[in-house]
Structure 1
Amino acid sequence: MNSRFTSLEVCAGVGGQALGLERAGFDPVMLVDDDPQTCATLRANRPDWRVLQADLNDFVGTEHGGVADVDLLSAGVPSAPFATAGRQHGISDRRDLLRTVIFLVMDVRPRVVMLESTPNLLTNSKFEAVRRFVSNELEHMGYCWTSSVLDAQHFGVPQTRRSGIIIAMRPDDFERFSWPVGNRHAPTLGEALRESMASRGWSGADEWARIANQVAPTIVGGSKKHGGADLGPTRSKRSWQALGVDGGSLGDQVPGPEFVLAPEAGRSGLPKLTIAQVQLLQNLPTDWEVTGRKTAAYRQVAQAMPPAVSTAVGRHIAQALAR
């Protein structure tokens, strides 16, 4: 299949979802994000992409040439409003961009809509009203829709990372759509990073890789409101420690020859991950330049959708669109 399609990517972030969709046959006519650092990253890696820094609440698709004719509208909807912990914010909350994206669908009228967010949005009873809103609006616009929860490790990504994805299509396209079946083997954390850990001459890399004998925990953290360049809250740090990683902060470089692996000493005897290593765990290309200082760079990488997942979904969308 040689067909190429067009897409509009909103809440684009570091570009993981757009990169995966590009591999599946979708060329973005525009990428929109409100964060200046992520926009700088997108421009640094794809100078030919049309990147717009804008608040999505103020974005009107029909004001921009080519946007209203796209085949696919894709969005990585921020998951914070749909967290199970803490205060629940309603769909009228300005931070909840899901409602904004649905209104953008009304404006742009793409052939396909792809929304990615936390599985909680699809599975938690707390958000039944949100799901009903999405369903009613999509069906009112003439779309059929389906949803699924996909785990990145089933697509070869060395990390447990579950995404809740909604696909909406016109009825004649929808009848040809099916979800990808993830059946690829994911390397363990040790297999994924052993070469990187040994790159500065650390003799303990092989022993460390034997400890890191499962896929990585979910990469979390990077919230603009809380935390810095670390691997998440206490529970996440414990999971990383069990696999031989000090999750208390990120390292500036991988261990050198002088580093002594000592799991019995706790986190102080374990290596830290670098931004480049987190990129590997997120399935981002090694040459994908992430701009900004450590905290800003980690925030971008931590929130990315692994390209392998969006490629798999994108290929099934492209197959449904091809006539």
Structure 2
Amino acid sequence: MNLTSKETISALLLADIMSVSKRTIESWRKNGKVKSLENGRYLLSGLAKFPQIQAMLETKWELEQKIKPIKTYNSIELFAGAGGLAIGLEKAGFNTIALNEIDKNACATLRKNRPNWNVLEGDIRNIDFTQYKNIDFLSGGFPCQAFSYAGNKLGFEDTRGTLFFEFARAIREIKPKVFLGENVRGLLSHDKGKTLKAIKAVIQELGYTLIEPRVLKAIFYKVPQKRERLFLVCIRNDLVKNANFEWPEPFNKVLTVKDALKKGILYDSDCPESQGQIYPEQKKKVLSMVPPGGCWVNLPDDIQKEYMKKSYFMGGGKTGMARRLSYDSPSLTLTCAPAQKQTERCHPKETRPLNIREYARIQTFPDEWEFVGSISSQYKQIGNAVPVNLAHAMAIKLIALLNNIETSKK
């Protein structure tokens, strides 16, 4: 969907952009907050009062794509997974010195696709990072566990025993100019905000200034998926006065499942065939009744009760159950398993789970990026990844930040 002022978008796509339900858009239409055309669609020029739409109409995305490193910036990535963040950093111009990951299949995936990368396989607790002192940049999607708050000082020692402690230890040993922490949106409210408070205290103790954390929605960064990720950008205190970080501009289009699976703006061919899970016959029979974009609520009542069992009486949305994606909307956030009852991601037309390559495309992995391991391991690697295009958008602005620091130093 090309966001120019003369274009129109559907109510469903408007709901995705505004992070509200389609029902909310309908209530806005009824009370005059938004005006639809006779065909039920919305003219973008009439929606420019919304900051999200205005940002897309006035975006400097194309200018940002031209940002290149003015020198070689060496980087290290922790908790690297199957390489979503790493590919984005590489595309922006970072020179990867080392990547740490404990999952053997994810490590095999990294080595298969980038034999020249230095993959440090194993537990982060066993790695001495002092050999990488003064590297330009460090990144990692550290797992978010609760801290003990043993001393209630919310400092470095209070995080001991968690993987964030190891992330912080690597920062202390390397002292990079800039580091990036990446996590789920839930970190903002985890343990009633105590976890983030502890993380902020440790960042300060390490001698870094934290840019106010921000949740980025992948649909704004050339990703056909409603995934959200929290990013923490931190600059070493002695360099802050020379730094000027800006968050990435949005892409000027909202991409859909069709953009992922068919030839077009993201890929120059339709999605190639690949392995994937299959539904048992009974489940296939039920899901064959669900329309594109629909879920269990679209089933006949007697089948709803049979399929949902106790969940039928519990209320709430549960719209991930018996969910079929639509070509005309971004995908729901991909999980580690597309065929589980709570997190189903059925193909828009065929009655089957998304296969491996379809999963990878919705995460914007290149078609040539191969995954190693069992089918369930490959789904897990893809489902846990940072979408490549979101990572690339962030990486470009991190290159701009390092360029700014470098220029100011001179």
TM tier, smaller? 0.7 to 0.9
Once the two structures are superposed, what CA deviation does each residue of 1:100-133 show, in whole Å capped at 9, x if it has no partner? 20121111111111011101112x1625222222
Q: In structure 1, how many angstroms separate the alpha carbons of the residues matched to 2:114 and 2:271?
A: 29
Q: Is the 8 A contact 2:140 2:182 kept in 1?
A: yes
* Structure 2 residues not aligned, in runs of 5+: 1-67, 150-157, 264-269, 275-290, 294-324
Q: Is the 8 A contact 1:220 1:232 kept in 2?
A: no
Q: How does 1:57-206 map to 2 (within 5 A)?
A: 57-62=125-130, 64=131, 67-79=132-144, 81=145, 90=148, 96-122=162-188, 124=189, 126-146=191-211, 147-171=213-237, 172-173=239-240, 175-194=243-262, 196=270
Q: CA deviation at 1:94?
A: 7.9
Q: CA deviation at 1:271?
A: 3.3
Matched residue SS, 1:289: coil
Query: Does residue 52 of structure 1 match 2:117?
Result: no
Q: Is the 8 A contact 1:117 1:163 kept in 2?
A: yes
Q: Is the 8 A contact 1:7 1:70 kept in 2?
A: yes
Q: Is the 8 A contact 2:209 2:240 kept in 1?
A: no
Q: CA deviation at 1:311?
A: 1.4
Q: In structure 2, how many angstroms separate the alpha carbons of the residues matched to 1:308 and 1:49?
A: 20
User: TM-score, normalised to structure 1's length?
Assistant: 0.76
Q: Is the 8 A contact 1:283 1:307 kept in 2?
A: yes
Q: In structure 2, how many angstroms separate the alpha carbons of the residues matched to 1:300 and 1:20?
A: 16
| Superposed CA RMSD | 2.7
Q: Is the 8 A contact 2:159 2:165 kept in 1?
A: no
Q: Find the counterpart in structure 2 of residue 212 from structure 1.
A: 327
Q: How does 1:13-32 map to 2 (within 5 A)?
A: 13-32=81-100
Q: Find the counterpart in structure 1 of residue 383 from structure 2.
A: 302
Q: Find the counterpart in structure 1 of residue 105 from structure 2.
A: 37
Q: In structure 2, how many angstroms separate the alpha carbons of the residues matched to 1:232 and 1:58?
A: 36
User: TM-score, normalised to structure 2's length?
Assistant: 0.61
Shift in alpha-carbon separation, 1:178–1:276, aligned structure 2, 3 A: same
Q: Is the 8 A contact 2:76 2:137 kept in 1?
A: yes
Q: CA deviation at 1:161?
A: 0.6
Q: How does 1:234-313 map to 2 (within 5 A)?
A: 234-237=341-344, 240-241=345-346, 244-245=347-348, 270-313=351-394
Q: In structure 1, how many angstroms separate the alpha carbons of the residues matched to 2:184 and 2:240?
A: 26
Q: Is the 8 A contact 2:225 2:362 kept in 1?
A: yes
Shift in alpha-carbon separation, 1:215–1:178, aligned structure 2, 3 A: same
Matched residue SS, 2:260: helix
Q: Is the 8 A contact 1:121 1:127 kept in 2?
A: no
Shift in alpha-carbon separation, 1:8–1:130, aligned structure 2, 3 A: same
Q: CA deviation at 1:270?
A: 1.7
Q: CA deviation at 1:77?
A: 1.6
Q: Is the 8 A contact 1:173 1:321 kept in 2?
A: no
Q: CA deviation at 1:189?
A: 1.1
Q: In structure 1, how many angstroms separate the alpha carbons of the residues matched to 2:381 and 2:76?
A: 20
Q: Is the 8 A contact 1:12 1:32 kept in 2?
A: yes
Matched letter for residue 193 of structure 2? E
Once the two structures are superposed, what CA deviation does each residue of 1:69-116 show, in whole Å capped at 9, x if it has no partner? 21111002235x3xxxxxx67577888422220121111111111011
Q: In structure 2, how many angstroms separate the alpha carbons of the residues matched to 1:127 and 1:99?
A: 20
Once the two structures are superposed, what CA deviation does each residue of 1:153-190 show, in whole Å capped at 9, x if it has no partner? 11010101100110100243473111112234232113
Once the two structures are superposed, what CA deviation does each residue of 1:24-67 show, in whole Å capped at 9, x if it has no partner? 121111111111111111111111111110201222201x4xx2
Q: CA deviation at 1:197?
A: 6.5
Q: Is the 8 A contact 2:361 2:367 kept in 1?
A: yes
Query: Does residue 315 of structure 1 match 2:396?
Result: yes
Between Structure 1 and Structure 2, whose CA radius of gyration is higher? 2
Matched residue SS, 2:133: helix
Shift in alpha-carbon separation, 1:211–1:10, aligned structure 2, 3 A: closer
Matched residue SS, 1:99: helix
Q: Which consecutive segments of 4 or more residues in structure 1 shift more than 4 A?
A: 88-95, 197-200, 207-211
Matched letter for residue 245 of structure 2? F
Q: CA deviation at 1:321?
A: 1.4
Q: In structure 1, how many angstroms separate the alpha carbons of the residues matched to 2:118 and 2:222?
A: 30
Q: Find the counterpart in structure 1 of residue 73 from structure 2.
A: 5
Q: In structure 1, how many angstroms separate the alpha carbons of the residues matched to 2:384 and 2:343?
A: 15
Count of residues in correspondence between the two structures: 272
Matched residue SS, 1:13: coil
Q: Is the 8 A contact 1:190 1:208 kept in 2?
A: no
Shift in alpha-carbon separation, 1:90–1:220, aligned structure 2, 3 A: farther
Matched residue SS, 1:69: coil
Matched letter for residue 185 of structure 1? K
